[in-house]
């Protein structure tokens, strides 16, 4: 009887984890693979793998949030995705900017061009820097969460994000000067 109750408790807790972090895992996957279909597949694979190891992850987390653990799983699966398929991420620009109110056409075009340039700059960063920026700005993760997700120290993560931003700024400035 206790086994059944433990299983039911774990299933409830995993369901809560799923509901809480589905959007973050999907967003991360989408930024990595660049299309909805593959992002959905990657998200599904992430949660399937997480379910298999959920009980151990809970024990080892010592009460810390499990979002970095989930993103780490998605990160590893995305790395396998590229290794297996030898693809580079391409973000669909029409999905990158959603208009919530009518605006002047010229302004919308200018904003889309800026977004396009930033996304192109991010996609050209080394993988670890690209990953850190996606986690920081697309998912709103703090440095400690990113460090846990990437398996780095807090200090190394802070330096990684700083260098990624500097490199992106330099790339955008070079493009502006051309």
- Same domain? For 1 and 85 the reply is yes
Q: Which of these, 43, 34, 21, 10, lies nearest to 140 by C-alpha position? A: 21
Residue 13's domain spans which residues? Answer: 1-90
Cβ neighbors of 81 (< 8 A, separation 6 or more) are 32, 33, 38, 42, 87
Statement to judge: residues 107 and 169 lie in one domain:
yes
Q: What is the pLDDT of residue 178?
A: 67
- Residue 148: how many other CB atoms lie within 10 Å: 21
Q: Reply yes or no on whether the pLDDT at 70 is more than 90.
A: yes
pLDDT value, residue 104 = 56
Residue 69 near residue 17, CB atoms below 8 Å:
no
Task: Name the residue among 81, 85, 115, 83 with its Cα closest to residue 97.
Answer: 115
CB-CB contact of 164 with 146 (8 Å): no
**Domain total in the chain:** 2
- Quickly list H helices, the chain: 2-33, 36-61, 67-85, 93-96, 105-123, 127-133, 143-150, 154-177
Clarify whether residues 68 and 2 are in a common domain: yes
The whole-number average pLDDT for the span 29-57 is 91
| Mean pLDDT of the 30-56 span | 91
Question: pLDDT tens digits, residue range 83-120?
Answer: 766 544 444 444 444 444 445 555 555 666 676 777 77
Higher per-residue confidence, 2 vs 22: 22
pLDDT at 12: 92
Give the pLDDT confidence score for residue 31 in this predicted structure. Answer: 86
Positive or negative torsion for Cα 57, 44, 128, 139:
negative
What contacts 79, CB < 8 A, 6 or more positions away? 127
Among 90, 123, 155, where does a domain finish?
A: 90
Last residue of some domain: 70, 90, 110? 90
pLDDT digits (tens, 9 = 90+) for 122-132: 888 888 898 89
């Amino acid at each position: 009887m206790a086994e059944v109750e433990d299983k039911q408790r774990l299933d409830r807790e995993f369901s809560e984890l799923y509901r809480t972090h589905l959007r973050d895992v999907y967003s991360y996957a989408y930024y990595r693979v660049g299309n909805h279909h593959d992002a959905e597949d990657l998200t599904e694979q992430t949660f399937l793998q997480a379910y298999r190891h959920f009980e151990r992850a809970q024990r080892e987390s010592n009460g810390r949030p499990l979002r970095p653990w989930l993103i780490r799983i998605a990160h590893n699966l995305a790395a396998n995705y590229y290794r297996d398929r030898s693809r580079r991420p391409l973000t669909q620009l029409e999905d990158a900017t959603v208009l919530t109110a009518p605006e002047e056409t010229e302004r919308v075009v200018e904003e889309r061009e800026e977004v396009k340039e930033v996304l192109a700059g991010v996609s050209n960063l080394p993988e670890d820097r690209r990953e850190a920026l996606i986690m920081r700005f697309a998912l709103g993760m703090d440095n400690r969460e990113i460090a846990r997700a990437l398996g780095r120290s807090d200090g190394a993560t802070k330096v990684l994000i700083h260098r990624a931003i500097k490199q992106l700024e330099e790339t955008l400035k070079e493009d502006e000067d051309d």
